[in-house]
Structure 1
Amino acid sequence: MTRSRRTAAGTHSPLGQRVVDALRKALFSGSYKPGERLVEDRLASEMGVSRVPVREALRVLAAEGLIDIAPRRGATVTALSSVAARDTIEVRATLEGLNARLAARRHSPATAAALESVLAMGGRAMAKRDARTLNTLNARFHDVLANAGGNAVLAEIMRTLRTRTTSFFAEMSRKRAKETWEEHAAIVRAVIDGDEALAELLATRHVVNAGAQVIAAIGGPAQ
């Protein structure tokens, strides 16, 4: 089931959809930290809406794994354990590597243009030290690369895995922005060159490098 289908099933109004989109964007950009409470009244006030569409949006985001909802505690940004993070990162690294190999095999001028466009925007955001834009562009880079692989099933699985760890990787992307975008550029070069083995290696290493720091930040061993 795709994210758009889940969202359509979970919201009942265009207003609810707009609140979902706004909260998802805030989570992807790192505006909310893992474990942070999301208070309905405060969110409704900030967005100028009633609590009803906020409550709908929180249910949708919980179904996507971005937040947890517990009785009496309410909604909080999902906080992974070090073991859960390790397990997710191991799978994601393998799949991202496979996808990069496929992207190198199936690359086209359109693929090259799309990837280079995101890199250029990332470079400008780096120069401005615009952390929020960099997080948004990081998600876009991985979406473009996923589409470049040409395997819709693989792309959807990877998006689900990225969603599970988005708040952690958003925070880490700010701390290692230079390394992240240097790794992105190297992956793009390998894809455009059609070097399948190198593209796979670099994409796998990219996730492993960031993942090790995520796990260390959570407080677990990077094994």
Structure 2
Amino acid sequence: MASRPLDKNLLPTPVRRPVPLRESVYETLLELITLRRLPPGQHLVENELAERLGVSRQPIREALQRLSNEGWVDLRPGYGAFVHRPSGDEAEQLLAVRGLLESESARLAAGNAGDEGLADLRRLCAAGEKGLERGDTEEMVALNADLHRRITELSGNEVLADLAGQVARRVRWYHGLVAAQRGGDSWEEHARIIDAIAAGDGEEAARLMREHTDATRRMYHEQAAATEDGESGDGGEGQGRQE
């Protein structure tokens, strides 16, 4: 009896393999950096990280190399790895691009957001306001990222959403420095942007988003300058050689 070929439409999706250890370590370190639990200038000692994460030094070394390639970590021969400390120009360029992308996202979302999308935005905004009341900075940073990402999705422009997604994680890192200071102002601005989107007023939504992202950009520079001034009397970051 001749066998029949398997119907590919009846086969399940490929078995999902466990995430490689090096990928898990990379994601963990990147999360610690974006949340500023590993702050700019922090010396990243392989032995210490391996012990903290419960892994060997090899996946740590691989993750640090990848983070270096992506600009999150600086590898200094003879001294080791350090969390990257961005220059003022780096911050300005990234946050300026973010403003352009998200202003256009808001403008387009005003013509595309349906009832479900608007409900999502209002839910995220309300959750952010509750996070503010609790003083939960990490939650506010995460919800801020979710809200901005949802606006970009509602733009209906996949290329725009992809470009915005490429800078989103770095924006989250910058926002971590100013989330507490921006506080209530930021969520009030979010609410006004959502109202403009709900009203279908694309130009107003774009204008409000430009003002919103510009306020965050200005405050980041102010906070970064204050942080640098505070660190200038501490003798600078450690320069001990990597053992």
The amino acid across from 1:84 in the alignment is E
Q: Does 1:87 align with 2:112?
A: no
TM-score by length of 2: 0.77
Return 5+ residue gaps in structure 2 as ranges.
1-17, 227-243
Q: Does 1:196 align with 2:202?
A: yes
Is the Cα–Cα contact under 8 Å of residues 34 and 170 in structure 2 kept in the other structure? Answer: no
The amino acid across from 2:180 in the alignment is R
Aligned length: 209
Q: Does 1:147 align with 2:153?
A: yes
Tell me what 1:25 maps to: 31
Q: Does 1:210 align with 2:221?
A: no
- Written as runs of structure 1 = structure 2, the 5 A alignment for 1:88-167 is 88-167=94-173
TM-score by length of 1: 0.83
Return 5+ residue gaps in structure 1 as ranges.
1-11
Q: Distance in 2 between matches of 1:83 and 1:74?
A: 25
Is the Cα–Cα contact under 8 Å of residues 105 and 160 in structure 2 kept in the other structure? Answer: yes
Q: Distance in 1 between matches of 2:189 and 2:78?
A: 43
How large is the RMSD of aligned CA atoms in angstroms?
2.3
Identify, as 1 or 2, the structure richer in helix. 1
Compared with structure 1, are the counterparts of its residues 44 and 212 closer, same or farther at alpha carbon in structure 2 (3 Å cutoff)?
A: same
Is the Cα–Cα contact under 8 Å of residues 29 and 133 in structure 1 kept in the other structure? Answer: no
Q: Distance in 1 between matches of 2:217 and 2:177?
A: 12
Q: Secondary structure at the match of 1:194?
A: coil
Q: Secondary structure at the match of 2:81?
A: strand
Compared with structure 1, are the counterparts of its residues 188 and 56 closer, same or farther at alpha carbon in structure 2 (3 Å cutoff)?
A: farther
Is the Cα–Cα contact under 8 Å of residues 42 and 83 in structure 2 kept in the other structure? Answer: yes
Compared with structure 1, are the counterparts of its residues 116 and 57 closer, same or farther at alpha carbon in structure 2 (3 Å cutoff)?
A: farther
Tell me what 1:179 maps to: 185
Is the Cα–Cα contact under 8 Å of residues 65 and 163 in structure 1 kept in the other structure? Answer: no
Q: Distance in 1 between matches of 2:47 and 2:99?
A: 38
Tell me what 2:240 maps to: none
Q: Percent identity?
A: 32
Compared with structure 1, are the counterparts of its residues 107 and 16 closer, same or farther at alpha carbon in structure 2 (3 Å cutoff)?
A: same
- Of the candidates 53, 57, 61, which is equivalent to residue 55 of structure 1? 61
The amino acid across from 2:103 in the alignment is G
Q: Does 1:37 align with 2:43?
A: yes
Q: Which has the higher contact order (CA 8 A, sep 6+)?
A: 1
Q: Distance in 1 between matches of 2:159 and 2:81?
A: 30
Question: How much does 1:13 deviate?
Answer: 5.2
Q: Does 1:75 align with 2:84?
A: no
Is the Cα–Cα contact under 8 Å of residues 85 and 165 in structure 1 kept in the other structure? Answer: no
Is the Cα–Cα contact under 8 Å of residues 121 and 137 in structure 1 kept in the other structure? Answer: yes
Q: Secondary structure at the match of 1:76?
A: strand
Once the two structures are superposed, residues 128-175 of structure 1 have per-residue CA deviations (whole angstroms, 9 ceiling, x without a partner) of 111121122222222222212122221222232333444332111122
Is the Cα–Cα contact under 8 Å of residues 99 and 154 in structure 1 kept in the other structure? Answer: yes
